[in-house]
């Protein structure tokens, strides 16, 4: 049998000290203050076994968010699981830019393509209460998480299962947002920092030797058919993809094409406005 303090100390030799603390709090259902004030409290044998298992999984590289089943994004806690990407702080930029645009419109229709755990659509529904949100994903597992998250945060989002625009039929929107898979299939980043535990098809288009932008191309190609004139398309992308994404947007006939930098100063979101211009074929 070991007490909380001893379990924390021992685990901290194998994994990050903060991760050890969060796993211990998760297993024992206690707070940081409990850990400090009652570090001599014994763990039950079942808790000790659960904790040891989670520490071993964390030591093998599994992301903490999957082990505890939740992650924070824009100040809200979301359910996460291996069926969807773990929220990244850089995606806050996409939410901020979209909310700013939606805020200028009366009852905007917004569609989130590849919603994953639903964070972008749910945040937009909360920040823009007059907006009608649609969120699409090809993964039923991701939509399960997204529906649970929408219920948890008390917002209505219409979730549809399918490939990019397909479930939306011929419907048009005022704003299209997406954090699509954009990491090139050959990027060594895919093998690091817990990414091997995340769904590969949420991270990369999987095309060997490609630039990772296949999904971005598909989103851009379908955007004019699904945007009202004057509507905006905003997409997250990789640190070195902004120029290419802007070119794709301009070639497709978008105006006001621009890129915005995330909190780390990296070019992270690009977008444009559907004008009266006829798309260049
Ligand atoms: N920004 C993420 C990463 O580099 C990838 C997110 C995505 O593919 N949409 O880990």
**How far away, in angstroms, is 189 Cα from ligand 1 center?**
9
Q: What is the pLDDT of residues 146-194, one digit of tens each?
A: 999 999 999 999 999 999 999 999 999 999 999 999 999 999 999 999 9
> What range defines the domain where residue 55 resides?
4-60
Ligand 1, atom 6: nearest CA belongs to which residue? 203
Same domain, 213 and 93: yes
261 and 168 belong to one structural domain = yes
Beta-carbon-side half-sphere exposure of residue 111 (alpha carbons within 13 Å): 27
Query: Tens-of-pLDDT digits for all 281 residues of the chain?
Result: 689 999 999 999 999 999 999 999 999 999 999 999 999 999 999 999 999 999 999 999 999 999 999 999 999 999 999 999 999 999 999 999 999 999 999 999 999 999 999 999 999 999 999 999 999 999 999 999 999 999 999 999 999 999 999 999 999 999 999 999 999 999 999 999 999 999 999 999 999 999 999 999 999 999 999 999 999 999 999 999 999 999 999 999 999 999 999 999 999 999 999 986 554 44
50 and 169, same structural domain? no
Cα 216 to middle of ligand 1, angstroms: 13
- CA count, 13 A, side-chain hemisphere, 221: 10
Question: Are 104 and 158 found together in one domain?
Answer: yes
pTM: 0.95
Q: Evaluate whether residue 183 is within a structural domain.
A: yes
What is residue 11's predicted lDDT score, i.e. its pLDDT? 97
**254-261 and 267-274: which strand pairing?**
antiparallel
- The secondary structure of 160-173 as a DSSP string is EESSTTGGGTT--E
For residues 274 and 256, give the distance between their C-alpha atoms in angstroms, rounded to a whole number.
Answer: 9
Which CATH number belongs to the domain containing residue 31 in this structure? 1.10.8
Q: How far is the CA of 262 from the centre of ligand 1 (A)?
A: 13
Nearest ligand 1 atom to alpha carbon 91: 1
Q: Kindly state whether residue 12 falls inside one of the protein's structural domains.
A: yes
Do 104 and 160 lie in a common domain? yes
Find the helix or strand (DSSP H, E) in which 268 lies.
strand 267-274
Q: Which residues line ligand 1 (CB under 6 A)?
A: 88, 90, 179, 181-183, 189, 203, 236
Determine the 3-state secondary structure of 137 from DSSP.
strand
What is the whole-number distance in angstroms between the Cα of residue 167 and the centre of ligand 1?
24
Q: For the segment 35-53, what is each residue's pLDDT rounded down to a tens digit?
A: 999 999 999 999 999 999 9
Q: Which atom of ligand 1 is the closest one to the Cα of 204? A: 8
Q: Are strands 267-274 and 227-236 parallel, antiparallel or unpaired?
A: antiparallel
**Atom number, ligand 1, closest to the C-alpha of residue 182:** 8
- Do 134 and 243 fall into the same domain? yes
Q: Do 132 and 13 sit in the same domain of this protein?
A: no
């Amino acid at each position: 049998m070991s007490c909380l303090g001893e379990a924390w100390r021992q685990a901290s030799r194998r994994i990050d000290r903060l991760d050890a603390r969060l796993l211990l709090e998760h297993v024992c259902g206690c707070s940081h203050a409990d850990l400090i004030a009652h570090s001599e409290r014994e763990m039950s044998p079942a808790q000790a076994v659960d904790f040891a298992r989670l520490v071993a999984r964390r030591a093998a590289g599994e992301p903490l968010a999957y082990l505890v089943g939740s992650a924070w994004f824009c100040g809200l806690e979301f359910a996460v699981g291996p069926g969807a990407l773990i929220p990244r702080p850089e995606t806050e930029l996409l939410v901020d830019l979209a909310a700013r645009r939606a805020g200028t419109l009366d009852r905007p229709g917004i569609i989130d393509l590849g919603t994953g755990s639903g964070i972008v659509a749910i945040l937009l529904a909360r920040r823009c209460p007059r907006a009608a949100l649609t969120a699409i994903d090809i993964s039923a597992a991701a939509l399960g998480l997204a529906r649970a998250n929408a219920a948890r945060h008390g917002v209505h989002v219409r979730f549809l299962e399918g490939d990019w625009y397909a479930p939306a039929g011929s419907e048009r929107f005022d704003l299209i947002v997406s954090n699509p898979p954009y990491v090139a299939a050959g990027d060594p980043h895919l093998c690091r920092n817990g990414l091997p535990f995340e769904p590969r098809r949420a991270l990369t288009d999987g095309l060997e030797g490609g630039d990772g932008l296949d999904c971005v191309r598909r989103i851009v190609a379908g955007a004019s058919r699904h945007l009202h004139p004057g509507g905006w398309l905003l997409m997250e992308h990789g640190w070195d993809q902004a120029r290419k994404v802007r070119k794709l947007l301009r070639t497709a006939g978008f105006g006001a094409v621009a890129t915005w930098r995330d909190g780390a100063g990296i070019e992270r979101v690009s977008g444009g406005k559907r004008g009266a211009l006829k798309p260049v074929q």
